[in-house]
Amino acid sequence: LNRIAAVDLRVNTLKATRQEAKAALERASIDTKETVLSPLGLRLIGNSRLGETSAFKQGLVEIQDEGSQLIALLCDAKPGMNVVDYCAGAGGKTLALAASMGRSGKVVGRLTACDISKPRLDRLRPRLKRAGVTSVKCQTINAHEDCWVAEQAGKLERVLVDVPCTGMGTWRRDPNMKWLITPMDLEELINLQRRILTNAASMLRSGGKLIYATCSLLREENEYQVGWFLGHHSNFRPIPIDKVWAETITSKPPTSSQNLRLSPATTETDGFFCAVFVKIL
C-alpha cells in the first residue's frame, strides 16, 4: 500500500477488442500490457496523457482498476437480465455491466444504476454517452426505506452491492485516507453495510445472485459480514468463488478460498473482497 498504483484500463467490448484498443493507444504513443487476471484489461506502461487520445474520447477504453473489472465480471450479467448496481457511485462497474449485457451499445435487458447521491449519478451520464450506452436507468434512492427499492422486491436476477467501506484497499491511491478513518467510523460502516445488504437481498427473485464487494482489506467489512448475512438470511447460500470464476472469467482464479480477496501484495491490484450468494427460496 506504500507503492504507487498502476493505471489500468478496461476495454469497452461494445466498441473494440482488447487488441484493437491496444493498437489504437499505440498509435497515440501510449504503451500498455495486458492484465494478467482480467481478460478486458490493459495496464499503462509509464505516464501518459490518456484523456487526449482518440481511444479514450471515443469510448474504446475506460479507466478502471483490474480488481474492479473482475468484480463486474463475476456478476455474470447477461443480455436479457434485470440487473441493479445498487451503490453505483460514478458508475465504473455500471459501465462494465452494460458492456456484458449489451449489443451495439444498447443494453439488452434492464440495467439500473442506483445511488443516494444524484450528483454522483449525474457524473455517470457523460461516461455512458462516451461508451455508447443508451439504455441504463439512473435511479436516486433514499438511504433507508425507499419506494423504488420496495417495488423491485423479488424481480431481479442480479444485484451488485459494492458497499461504502473504509477504502483500505485503495490507500495507495489516496494515502491521506489512512489518517481519516476511526474505530467509530468503522462501526458505523459495518451497520450501514448490513442495512444495504438487507435491502439489496429483498430485490432478488429465487435463483438470483447477490454480489457483495468492498475495496477493504478488513475482515470486519468482509468475511465477518458474510457470516452475519448468512446468519440472518437463511434463504441465501454462498457460491464458492472458484465456481463463479470458472463460469465467468475461465482463467485460473488467484485463490482457492470461498471468497475472493485481491490486494497490491498478492495480485498487484487494488485491495478488493467479493462474495457471491444465490437466493434459494
Answer whether 12's CB lies under 8 Å from 49's CB. no
Q: How far is CA 127 from CA 19, 158, 245, in A?
A: 22, 22, 27
Q: Do the Cβ atoms of 281 and 242 come closer than 8 Å?
A: no
> Is 147 among the catalytic positions?
no
Per the residue annotation, which of 75, 165, 215, 274 is the catalytic one?
215
CA 194 – CA 232 distance, rounded (Å): 10
Give the span between the Cα atoms of 80 and 32, in whole angstroms.
34
**Contact status, residue 202 vs residue 149, Cβ threshold 8 Å:** yes
Q: What are phi and psi of 212, to 5 degrees?
A: -100, 130
- Sheet strands (E) in 223-271: 236-239, 260-262
Number of helices followed by number of strands (H, E) in the chain: 9, 14
Closest CA to 261 of 231, 241, 236: 241
Residue 58 φ/ψ, nearest 5 degrees: -90, 0
CA distances to 74, 82, 211, 261, 262 from 267, in Å: 16, 31, 20, 9, 6
Contact in structure between 189 and 166 (CB atoms under 8 Å): yes
**How far is it, in rounded angstroms, from Cα 169 to Cα 51?**
25
Active site residues: 215
